[in-house]
Amino acid sequence: MTLRQHDHIALGPAGGSSRPLRIGVLVSATGANLSTLLALQDREPEAFQVCLVASHGSTAKALEVARGAGVETWTGDFDAHCGLASQAVDEAGRARYRERARAWHDGLDARIAAWEAVDGPLDLLVLAYHRWIEGNLLDRFHGRLVNQHPADLSVLDADGRRQLVGNDPVRLAMAAGHTATRTSCFLVDGTKDGGPVLCMGASVPTDGRAATPEDAWEQELLQKTESDRPCLEWTVRAFAAGRLALSGETHPDGSRVVLVDGQATALGGRRL
């Protein structure tokens, strides 16, 4: 889907639906976000259904979480196919890595499309995923692909660029003197953590923790409970209810203005 400057795009299941919102999840780590979605399903099986969980590898704990809940799981061989990003040290190497990564995700998209033809469509794809996505998967799930990022994506520098992007954003925020951190849930597009922010979870005070790897991890674990979970739950509920849309207007960082119940929100979307 290509968005023109003045397009107003509604987000949510096409045409509404009386069936549960069908969710796929791409995972890399412990399965905290997956557990949030499974808890939603357990409480409201008529409204939410986690249908498929896929990983770029085979050892993520999230895969065991999915299997324990009876959800179909797919493992992957991304690193064997693409190599490691850290080993792509020059421009040519990075181009080759990016080409292989795109081909790998195009293959995943084709597999998902074939699965959907038999098992039914996915309405939403949720990322808890440590790989950049480009290509057909990104295109086909445009407006239906969300990611959780453990930082406040409304914090901009003087040039209007998001400051707390990429790896290790919790420690980055703490090193910059932030006295609280929070999680952002955003629509994935072709940028690096630059898509429209739909919701931000509650601020979690750092309580004097230092910007060390150990303290930052302790802060992030606390944030998973107090900010990640309510942020993702609100976003998925709002998506299912058709409460979200994108305006034709943009914020200073270039991302689309998010509408909640038809009302424009500030950069950061709904703040919990």
Give DSSP secondary structure letters for 165-199.
Answer: -SS-HHHHHHHTT-SEE--EEEE--SSSS-SPEEE
Tokens of 114: 């074939």
- 96-148 residue pLDDT tens: 888 899 999 999 999 999 999 999 999 999 998 888 888 999 999 999 999 99
In this structure, is residue 265 part of a structural domain? no
Residue 57: CATH number of its domain: 3.40.50.170
What integer pLDDT is reported at residue 16 of this predicted model? 58
User: Do the domain assignments include residue 163?
Assistant: yes
- Give me the number of domains the chain comprises: 1
Determine contact, residues 108/135, Cβ cutoff 8 Å. no
Give the whole-angstrom CA distance, residue 31 versus residue 241: 25
151 found inside a domain: yes
Look at residue 131 in the predicted model and tell me its pLDDT: 85
Per-residue pLDDT at 4 exceeds 60? no
Q: What percent of the chain has pLDDT over 70?
A: 96
In a domain, 11, yes or no: no
**Residue range(s) defining the domain that contains residue 176:** 16-242
Does residue 109 lie within any of the structural domains? yes
**In Å, what is the CA distance from 28 to each residue of 98, 108, 154, 216?**
19, 15, 25, 19
Q: Is 257 exposed, middle or buried (0-12, 13-18, 19+ CB in 10 A)?
A: middle
Q: What is the pLDDT of residues 15-39, one digit of tens each?
A: 556 789 999 999 998 889 999 999 9
Q: Counting beta carbons within 10 angstroms of the beta carbon of residue 240, is it exposed (0 to 12), middle (13 to 18) or buried (19 or more)? A: buried
What confidence tens digit (pLDDT) does each residue in 142-175 have? 999 999 999 999 999 999 999 999 888 999 999 9
In a domain, 181, yes or no: yes
Is residue 251 in a domain? no
Residue 84 included in any domain: yes
